[in-house]
Amino acid sequence: MDLLQRGVAMLQDSDSSDECATARAADAVSEAATGEPVPEPRKAAAGQAVHYGFGVLLGMGYGVVAEYWCPATAAAGAPFGLATRRC
């Protein structure tokens, strides 16, 4: 996924750094919570935590939606997966 993000970033005209989106998101959360960015040695782990945390939230969302709206489970949840793929 990192490779894809870097490829897209090269195509876009932006001033983004070499950091992946999840590491930047971890920095934003850390700065909002503590006022300081994530220390450099922990950036990779913090980025992974954001990545997997976001996946857990999407999975929980699917579980709630599937419980109360049966059409969400059509094709084993493929429509939900496709709808949230860009997230």
25 residue type, one letter: A
Q: Which of 42, 78, 46 is nearest to 62 (CA)?
A: 78
Entry pTM: 0.66
Tell me the helix, strand and coil percentages in the chain, rounded to 5.
75, 0, 25
Q: What is the pLDDT of residue 17?
A: 64
Has residue 36 got a pLDDT over 80? yes
**How many residues comprise the chain?**
87
* CB proximity list for 15: less than 8 A, separation 6 or greater: none
Give 4-16 pLDDT, tens digit per residue. Answer: 666 656 655 555 5
